[in-house]
Amino acid sequence: MAKEKKRKQPASDSAPPQGDEGEGRRERKGKKAKKDKAEAILPSQIKNKDKRSELHAKLKREKKAEKRKLARERSQAIRRAEELGEQPPERQVPRTIENTREPDETVCRPDDQELFAGNDADEFNDVLKQHIIPKVLITTCRFNSGRGPAFIEELMQVIPNSHYVKRGTYELKKIVEYAKNRDFTSLIVVHTNRREPDALLIIGLPDGPTAHFKLSKLVLRKDIKNHGNPTSHKPELVLNNFTTRLGHRVGRMIQSLFPQDPNFRGRRVVTFHNQRDYIFFRHHRYIFETKESKVASKDKKAKTSESKSQPEKQVICRLQECGPRFTLKLLTLQHGTFDTKSGEYEWVHKPDMDTSRRRFFL
Amino acid sequence: MPRTTVLESPGCPPLRALTTDILGLVKVVEARTNPAGAAKVVETWGEPDASRAIVAASLADRAADPVLAMARKNGVVELLNPLNGDALAAVKTVGPASDDGSAEGDPLVALHLFTRQASDSMLGTFIACTDKGKASIRSIMKENAASGSDAGPSTTWDVCSGGNVQFCSVDHGESYAMFGGKGIEVNLWDISSCSKTWSAKSPRANSLGIFTRPWFTAGTFLCKDDHRKIVACTNNHQVRLYDTSLQRRPAISVDFREAPIKAVAADPNGHNVYIGTGTGDLASFDMRTGKLLGCYIGKCSGSIRSIVRHPELPLIASCGLDSYLRIWDTNTRQLLSAVFLKQHLTTVVIDSHFSVEAPVETNSKQPEFLVEAEAEVRKEKKSKTIEEDEAEAEVQLEKKKKKKKESKTVEEDVAEVRKEKKKKSRTTEENEERHSDEMCTTKRRKSGERSKCMKKKSKKQHAA
């Protein structure tokens, strides 16, 4: 690399003097002048494409080298600290859109007594306190075909105690009444468009809210490589990152779909992970294994000397994905059951909210 | 760098608003001139209890002895002192009909507390209406307020035979009440005689011959001095103007967007109304022509349950299911302040006499005046270096005494200035906001100047 640099640098240096003699003179003075020049002339100021791309490539190379140097320095500092037995220097945290999120006053705090009082009063309290066993009715839009039926089949394996009812030509309000009379606690409607499921409606019963989600990135089980087949145990539930009051409410709503006493023997996990207002759904089986041979072989590759000193048995956790994989985005949250004509909305996504990339609502 | 948008709220003039929510809490929000701008929750009254959710509230907005009435979900109407939150009275049942435990099946939906007082012994008179249309007027005497068993004279009548009442509105003179709801046309009742004086007629079937069932969600009287003009809003997103002296069908009917209209408030100028919808759109209409004046834009995402107009300042406050109390300027239609109140809110009321009375505010200001005065005194001292130490000490002692007196006088002055300003602001409504801003600054300046003058005088006296 060093040789290449040396070779290329003179070439790039020799290029500009053709245009201007004064600059060429300055270059001979030393490195400082060079740096000044590099700052002074931007690639965009050069009109000749060859020269411009040359300068651009050079700048890029320098930047890359600089970056590599810094990384090396950091790793050396860590190693040095390790040798001396000191505290390693703090790791730098990359700045992402999420951790530079706009401050939100609606974020739930654990010391908020009103929040808990509100939780006790809300519609899901009975289910979450295990007074009622959740019972879910799944239905579709009127014309269900394509991947819709397959998706519903898998959804029924994910959610215990769920029942599929053919939509027929009934109005949704009628179906809500029907489900209320039969003591269902939730109603899920899978909406398909052009033979593709594209929306999910979750209605809390008897008077719970109605959430309308956009459904995208649906991958069915058979399309997942090395997928597993779920058992009929009650799954564990993981809800990640539902921070604001709205998110809290949506999280509780999702929680109320599942029974609150998971069979840990089943080793089944259902995950709803919220990231930037998109809720990612995953369904896994996990297993804890004690594997000696694999651990040893891995360590051999890295450090042959250390592997012998380490204990041979090590517990590792393996994941196997099963069931569908999809992404939800909340569009509206309606107060009360499904009613488009006279419904009151608790939250509606409006385009004038999207003025910042760093504002999230869940 | 992360680009964050900061909502630049210009801040609102001194204001006091009370909100009620579904957990039965009453929250007091105040905006002050010092520190200027943002409104904050000052006090929370009540224990969170969902069974005692407040469904409606009404404030008798008087300078002396104001009363806040709240209708709870369990059928209790409570009277509060809105200044300190003391419970004044609680009436268990609404009417004799709901004595036999029917409060659950027939909850209260609307409440209005009368502003005018019949006599000093009366705590308050309110009109309450249940879902099934049982309206009752009750007055509570001061003597038996605590017991709440028998609460003075009461009258009860049925507004309708079927359907659900959704709103009740009383005109400014408080002699007429209006009811409406799902399946009920707008009714106008004479309160003194409890007789129906007028009822609306639904508009003609449309070109397809389709006839819509009446479903009124909100209504108000348009003018202060005229009970004949009524604005009623329907569930199928219509704003209607009825003129009771003219005809039974609406004079003007305007559509607004797609969502049902849930709240309406009239402007004191007699022709504007503010409406809020189920999807959180807030707009103002000119009811003389039925034209949309404009929408209030500001990330409001939940259904609006209540709108209230400040009687003097050009402000409206709105609240609803997004659990924000928002305060808007009616002239510029800008959001002045938004307060997050954690629960689904049901009603908001504005205490318009806040800046006049407000003993709390003057207390908080007092130390500042003192500090300012001291600073000025120090400056003066620097200029007069001739004074001897002993004399100075004496001066200081006396000054301290005087200061105490002055601070009291300053308070009085402030109050006076405010009253004067209030009168002025009443006369000139147009540039009120600017005025109010000036109010805040000039008040202080004036008081500061006055105190300066006083100090000089005192010094002169001492020198003499």
pLDDT in tens, A305-331: 544 555 577 888 999 999 899 999 999
Q: What's chain A's length in residues?
A: 362
SS3 A324: coil
Q: Is the CB of A350 less than 8 angstroms away from the CB of B301?
A: yes
Q: Is the CB of B342 less than 8 angstroms away from the CB of A353?
A: no
Interface test with B, best of A348, A349, A360 (most B CBs within 10 A): A348
Q: Is the CB of A348 less than 8 angstroms away from the CB of B5?
A: no
Residue B229 has pLDDT above 50, yes or no: yes
Residue B303 has its nearest CB partner, among A103, A112, A344, at: A344
Q: Is the CB of B4 less than 8 angstroms away from the CB of A356?
A: yes
SS3 B427: helix
Residue A342 has its nearest CB partner, among B25, B260, B301, at: B260
Q: Is the CB of A346 less than 8 angstroms away from the CB of B343?
A: no
User: Is A220 a member of any domain?
Assistant: yes
User: Is A244 a member of any domain?
Assistant: yes
Compute the distance between CA of residue B175 and CA of residue B114 in angstroms, rounded to an integer.
Answer: 10
Smallest CA–CA distance, residue B87 to chain A, in Å, is: 21
What is the ipTM score, two decimals?
Answer: 0.75
Interface test with A, best of B23, B215, B279, B326 (most A CBs within 10 A): B279
B142 membership: H or E segment, kind and range:
none
Smallest CA–CA distance, residue B252 to chain A, in Å, is: 22
Residue A216 has pLDDT above 60, yes or no: yes
Residue A345 has its nearest CB partner, among B22, B302, B323, at: B302
User: Is A331 a member of any domain?
Assistant: yes
How confident is the prediction for chain B on average, in pLDDT? Answer: 76
Smallest CA–CA distance, residue B107 to chain A, in Å, is: 17
Closest to B164 (Cα-Cα) out of B179, B186, B181, B178: B181
Determine the pLDDT at residue A293: 60
> At CB < 8 Å, which residues of chain A contact B?
95, 100, 102-103, 105-106, 112-115, 117-118, 120-121, 245, 335, 341-350, 352-353, 355-356, 358-359
User: Is A340 a member of any domain?
Assistant: yes
Residue B99 has pLDDT above 60, yes or no: no
Phi first, then psi: what are they for A295, rounded to 5°?
-60, -45
Instruction: Give the count of beta carbons closer than 10 Å to the beta carbon of residue B216.
Output: 27
Print the domain residue range for A190. Answer: 116-284+320-353
A-chain residues near B323 (CB < 8 A): 106, 245
Q: Is the CB of A343 less than 8 angstroms away from the CB of B2?
A: no
Smallest CA–CA distance, residue A122 to chain B, in Å, is: 8
Determine the pLDDT at residue B319: 93
B-chain residues near A114 (CB < 8 A): 23, 25, 48, 342-343
B-chain residues near A113 (CB < 8 A): 48
A-chain residues near B25 (CB < 8 A): 114
Q: Is the CB of B278 less than 8 angstroms away from the CB of A342?
A: yes
Partnered with residue A212 across adjacent β-strands are: A201, A332
Residue A215 has pLDDT above 50, yes or no: yes
Q: Is the CB of B3 less than 8 angstroms away from the CB of A121?
A: no
pLDDT band at B369 (very low <50, low <70, confident <90, very high): very low
What percentage of chain A exceeds 70 in pLDDT?
Answer: 83
Q: Using CB atoms within 10 Å of the CB of residue B69, give its burial: 0 to 12 exposed, 13 to 18 middle, 19+ buried.
A: buried
Residue A348 has its nearest CB partner, among B215, B279, B344, at: B279
Segment A17-44 mean pLDDT: 55
Smallest CA–CA distance, residue B209 to chain A, in Å, is: 20
Compare B184 and B409 and report the one with higher pLDDT: B184
Residue B47: CA atoms inside 13 Å, Cβ hemisphere, count? 2
Closest residue in A to B277 (Cα) is A344
Could you tell me which residues come within 8 angstroms of residue B246 by beta carbon, excluding any fewer than 6 positions away? none
User: Is A107 a member of any domain?
Assistant: no
User: Is A50 a member of any domain?
Assistant: no
> At CB < 8 Å, which residues of chain B contact A?
2-5, 22-23, 25, 48-50, 215, 235-236, 259-260, 262, 278-280, 297, 299, 301-303, 321-323, 340, 342-344
**CA A339 distance to own-chain centroid:** 31
A-chain residues near B48 (CB < 8 A): 113-114, 117-118, 121
Amino acid code (one letter) for A326: F
Segment A18-33 mean pLDDT: 47
Residue A153's domain is classified under what CATH number?
3.40.50.10480
All domains of chain B, ordered by start, with CATH? 15-350 (2.130.10.10), 359-463 (no CATH)
Interface test with A, best of B51, B301, B343 (most A CBs within 10 A): B301
Segment A165-193 mean pLDDT: 94
E-strand stretches of chain A: 136-140, 162-164, 186-193, 196-204, 210-219, 236-240, 268-275, 278-290, 315-321, 325-335, 344-348
pLDDT band at B318 (very low <50, low <70, confident <90, very high): very high
Closest to B15 (Cα-Cα) out of B323, B327, B284, B345: B327
Q: Is the CB of B343 less than 8 angstroms away from the CB of A114?
A: yes
User: Is A129 a member of any domain?
Assistant: yes
Determine the pLDDT at residue B421: 52
Task: Return the structure tokens found at A144.
Answer: 């269900």
Determine the pLDDT at residue A175: 95
Residue A19 has pLDDT above 60, yes or no: no
Q: Is the CB of A114 less than 8 angstroms away from the CB of B236?
A: no
Amino acid code (one letter) for B455: K
Phi first, then psi: what are they for A223, rounded to 5°?
-90, 0
Buried b (16+ CB within 10 A) or exposed e, B186-203: bbbbebeeeeeebbbeee
Phi first, then psi: what are they for A189, rounded to 5°?
-115, 125
Closest to A118 (Cα-Cα) out of A133, A108, A127: A108
**CA A313 distance to own-chain centroid:** 33
Q: Which 8-state DSSP code applies to residue A222?
A: G
User: Is A333 a member of any domain?
Assistant: yes
A-B Cβ pairs (cutoff 8 Å, strict): 85
Q: Is the CB of B235 less than 8 angstroms away from the CB of A342?
A: yes
Compute the distance between CA of residue B108 and CA of residue B165 in angstroms, rounded to an integer.
Answer: 9
Compare B206 and B456 and report the one with higher pLDDT: B206
Residue B5 has its nearest CB partner, among A114, A349, A356, at: A356
Residue B297 has its nearest CB partner, among A100, A352, A359, at: A352
pLDDT digits (tens, 9 = 90+) for B2-58: 555 555 566 778 888 999 999 999 999 988 776 666 788 888 988 888 888 999 999
Closest to B304 (Cα-Cα) out of B327, B338, B277: B277
For chain A, what is the domain count?
Answer: 1
Phi first, then psi: what are they for A236, rounded to 5°?
-85, 155
Would you say B221 and B172 are in contact if contact means Cβ atoms under 8 Å apart? Answer: yes
pLDDT band at B399 (very low <50, low <70, confident <90, very high): low
Residue A17 has pLDDT above 60, yes or no: no
How confident is the prediction for chain A on average, in pLDDT? Answer: 85
Smallest CA–CA distance, residue B407 to chain A, in Å, is: 39
Would you say A118 and B48 are in contact if contact means Cβ atoms under 8 Å apart? Answer: yes
Compute the distance between CA of residue B285 and CA of residue B276 in angstroms, rounded to an integer.
Answer: 11
Q: Is the CB of A121 less than 8 angstroms away from the CB of B23?
A: yes
Residue A345 has its nearest CB partner, among B279, B297, B323, at: B279
B-chain residues near A353 (CB < 8 A): 299, 301
Q: What is the DSSP string of B359-417?
A: HHHHHHHHHHHHHHHHHHHHHHHHH---S-HHHHHHHHHHHHHHHHHHHHHHHHHHHHH
Compute the distance between CA of residue B125 and CA of residue B89 in angstroms, rounded to an integer.
Answer: 12
Residue A345 has its nearest CB partner, among B3, B48, B280, at: B280
pLDDT digits (tens, 9 = 90+) for B246-303: 899 999 999 998 899 999 999 999 899 999 999 999 999 999 999 999 999 887 889 9
Could you tell me which residues come within 8 angstroms of residue A261 by beta carbon, excluding any fewer than 6 positions away? A130, A234
Q: Is the CB of A345 less than 8 angstroms away from the CB of B48?
A: no
Q: Is the CB of B303 less than 8 angstroms away from the CB of A346?
A: yes
Q: Is the CB of B303 less than 8 angstroms away from the CB of A335?
A: yes
B20 membership: H or E segment, kind and range:
strand B15-21
Instruction: Give the count of beta carbons closer than 10 Å to the beta carbon of residue A59.
Output: 14
Segment B379-401 mean pLDDT: 50
